[in-house]
């Protein structure tokens, strides 16, 4: 009788040490990764990753390009109205569509587990992000700034919100370039520390008003469109919404997020954005400002904005906080520009809410 032989696979000489890495270390790596597209790919790697990814604390959403959205997807991405009324609302819809895109191919790992992200056509972006239940720090980057400017114009803003505007600082200039040997100053007037008369007559003041209003509209629109995400994530401690151009940045810290949840948001009657309260503005201007690294800014303007009610009742602590916010709003040569402009004469203006 012929004996039967059995073939056995040799045990692998290599031991898989990856499973020995503690979950806390894997989560630390995921938090360093942060990018939501990459996290979406990690979901498909293993059952373990599928469980750990939703527990990340830091999430970064970067929008690389504006894509066309079909009718079905557009309906699924409604934030506050079926059709966006301005470019920013449209960009935010596209941004959140991009968040969903990496997850469309994901399926259940087993019959006993539900997918982390349901199908795109049936859920809003707020519902999708809601599955990341432990997010503490959320950073979103749009593909471009919201405020259109002429070529060569420098415009940067930074705003801090709670349930309404807390602080806003705007830095602008008509031109930024290398310092020439003999500078052609805006208006060709001697800088005495005061705003020259041509500033009022040649449209300079009007241009700064346009910059200010446009920046506040952009900031308040960003704030309004994030309301559902904030409400759905009580674990959030910081929220930053910026753009790839570095034009505008909206920030909310732990105290601001707490205020947002506890106090009702006042919406503007005319559009889908948060109402900007009546505010006090401090304007500083110089026709020509030399900056580090051989740069120069013509028509340099700094506008610091704070709600009027808060300004009248605030103490020294609040005033110092506002000054610190202005000084730390920008980096590099723009920070140097702010510090230089803070030494200039201050002009006070008042603005009604809108």
Percent over 70 (pLDDT), the chain = 69
Distance CA 218, CA 98 (A): 21
Q: Which residues pair with 61 in a beta bridge?
A: 140
Residue 15, pLDDT > 70, answer no
Higher pLDDT, 238 or 272: 238
**What pLDDT score was predicted for residue 317?**
56
Instruction: Render pLDDT for 242-263 as a digit per residue (tens, 0 to 9).
Output: 998 889 999 999 999 999 999 8
**What pLDDT score was predicted for residue 294?**
84
**What pLDDT score was predicted for residue 127?**
58
Residue 3, pLDDT > 60, answer no
Instruction: Render pLDDT for 196-246 as a digit per residue (tens, 0 to 9).
Output: 777 776 778 889 999 999 999 999 999 998 888 898 899 999 999 999 888
**What pLDDT score was predicted for residue 56?**
93
Instruction: Render pLDDT for 113-136 as a digit per residue (tens, 0 to 9).
Output: 444 333 333 334 465 577 788 999
Residue 185, pLDDT > 60, answer no
> For residue 267, what pLDDT band results from cuts at 50, 70 and 90?
confident
Instruction: Render pLDDT for 131-151 as a digit per residue (tens, 0 to 9).
Output: 788 999 999 888 887 788 777
Instruction: Render pLDDT for 50-59 as a digit per residue (tens, 0 to 9).
Output: 899 999 999 9
> For residue 187, what pLDDT band results from cuts at 50, 70 and 90?
very low
**What pLDDT score was predicted for residue 135?**
93
Instruction: Render pLDDT for 302-329 as a digit per residue (tens, 0 to 9).
Output: 999 999 976 554 455 577 888 889 988 9
**What pLDDT score was predicted for residue 110?**
37
78 CB contacts (<8 Å, ≥6 apart)? 93, 124
**What pLDDT score was predicted for residue 302?**
96
Instruction: Look up the pTM and report it.
Output: 0.74
């Amino acid at each position: 009788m012929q004996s039967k032989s059995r073939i056995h696979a040799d045990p692998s000489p290599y031991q898989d040490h990856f499973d020995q890495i503690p979950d806390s270390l894997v989560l630390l790596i995921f938090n360093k990764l942060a990018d939501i597209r990459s996290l979406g790919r990690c979901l498909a790697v293993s059952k373990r990753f599928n469980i750990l990814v939703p527990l990340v604390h830091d999430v970064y959403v970067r929008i690389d390009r504006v894509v066309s959205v079909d009718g079905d997807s557009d309906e699924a991405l409604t934030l506050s109205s079926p059709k966006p009324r301005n470019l920013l609302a449209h960009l935010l819809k596209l941004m959140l569509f991009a968040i969903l895109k990496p997850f469309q191919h994901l399926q259940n790992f087993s019959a006993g587990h539900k997918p982390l992200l349901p199908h795109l056509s049936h859920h809003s972006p707020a519902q999708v992000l809601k599955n990341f239940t432990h997010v503490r720090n959320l950073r979103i980057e749009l593909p471009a700034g919201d405020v259109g400017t002429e070529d060569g114009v420098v415009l940067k803003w930074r705003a801090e919100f709670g349930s309404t505007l807390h602080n806003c600082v705007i830095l602008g200039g008509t031109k930024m370039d290398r310092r020439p040997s003999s500078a052609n100053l805006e208006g060709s007037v001697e800088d005495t520390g005061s705003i020259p008369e041509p500033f009022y007559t040649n449209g300079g003041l009007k241009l700064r008003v346009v910059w200010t209003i446009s920046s506040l509209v952009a900031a308040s629109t960003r704030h309004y469109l994030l309301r559902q995400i904030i409400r759905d994530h009580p674990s959030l401690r910081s929220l930053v919404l910026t753009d790839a151009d570095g034009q505008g940045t909206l920030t909310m810290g732990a105290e601001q997020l707490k205020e947002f949840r506890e106090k009702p948001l006042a919406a503007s009657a005319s559009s889908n954005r948060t109402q900007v309260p009546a505010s006090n503005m401090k304007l500083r201007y110089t026709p020509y400002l030399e900056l580090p690294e051989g740069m120069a800014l013509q028509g340099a303007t700094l506008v610091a904005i704070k709600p009027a009610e808060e300004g009248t009742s605030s103490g020294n602590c609040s005033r110092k906080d506002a000054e610190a916010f202005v000084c730390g709003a920008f980096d590099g040569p723009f920070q140097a520009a702010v510090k230089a402009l803070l030494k200039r004469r201050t002009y006070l203006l008042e603005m009604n809410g809108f």
